[in-house]
A = this chain, B = another copy of it.
Amino acid sequence: MIYKLLNSIDQARPFERLSAHCDIPCGIYDPIIAQIAALTVVRMIDLMTDLDNKGGEKNKDYINSMSRYVTIKEEHAEKAKAEIRVIWGDFLKAQHLEKYPNTHALVHQIMQLGSKARQTTDREAALQLVEAINQFAEIFWGAKNIPTKRAIAPYAPNLELVYPVL
C-alpha cells in the first residue's frame, strides 16, 4: 500500500514538473568543493598517522593536535557528503539519471564512504571516497557536456582529481 501511493505520486507528475522549473534555482554547482573536502580527509588521516609515528607523550599537546585533526576530518567528510547531496538533489534530473543509471547507487556509496571516513582512520576508505566523488564529478560534467581530465591536485596529498577542461 505504501508503494502504491508513492508510485502514483511518482509516476503521475512530480518529477516532470519539478524538472520544468529547474532554471529558477539553478545555482552554481561545482563538485570541486566536495573533491577538495575529500582530499582534506585523506590529509588529516596522514597527519594523524604521522603524529602517532612520532611517539611522543599522550598529553595535552597530543590531544590538542589529534582532536583538531579528528574535527577537521569530520567537518570535511560531512561537507563532501552535503555538497554531493545538493548537486544530486537539485541539479540532476530525470534525463541525467537515465543517462547515468548508476548515480543513485554511487551517491549512496559516497554517503557510506563519507560516514566511514568519519568513524575510522582508514586511509583506504578515504581514498575510495575521493575516487567515488571523482566519478560523481565525471557524471556531473558529463551532464553539462563539458569534457574532463584528471590531474594531480596542487597540494598534499597530491592525489588525482577530475577537472573540467575549460
Q: What is the bound-complex CA distance between A121 and B146, given in angstroms?
A: 31
Q: Give A119 Cβ to nearest chain B Cβ, in Å.
A: 5
Q: Is the interface of A mostly helix, strand, loop or mixed?
A: helix
Point out the residues of chain B lying under 8 angstroms from A127, CB to CB: 2
Within the assembled complex, what's the spacing in Å between the Cα atoms of A7 and B132? Answer: 9
Contact at B120–A61, with CB atoms within 8 Å? yes
**The one of B70, B111, B128, B153 that contacts A89, using a Cβ cutoff of 8 Å:** B111
| Contact residues of A between 35 and 80, Cβ < 8 Å to B | 36, 39-40, 43, 48-49, 51-52, 58-61, 63-68, 70-74
CB distance from A65 to the nearest CB of B (A): 8
Contact between A36 and B33, CB atoms less than 8 A apart: yes
Known: A7-B102, A52-B59. 8 other contacts (CB 8 A): A6-B128, A6-B135, A14-B109, A21-B120, A28-B155, A63-B70, A90-B112, A97-B108
What are 22 residue pairs bridging A and B, where the CB atoms are less than 8 Å apart in the complex?
A2-B128, A3-B102, A5-B131, A6-B106, A9-B132, A14-B125, A14-B128, A18-B116, A21-B120, A27-B43, A28-B39, A28-B43, A30-B32, A32-B32, A52-B59, A52-B60, A64-B119, A67-B67, A81-B89, A82-B82, A89-B114, A97-B108
Contact surface of A with B, Cβ cutoff 8 Å = 2-3, 5-7, 9-10, 14-15, 18, 21, 24-30, 32-33, 36, 39-40, 43, 48-49, 51-52, 58-61, 63-68, 70-74, 81-82, 85, 88-90, 97, 102, 104-106, 108-109, 111-116, 118-121, 125, 127-128, 130-132, 134-135, 138-139, 144, 146, 151-156, 159-160, 163-164, 166
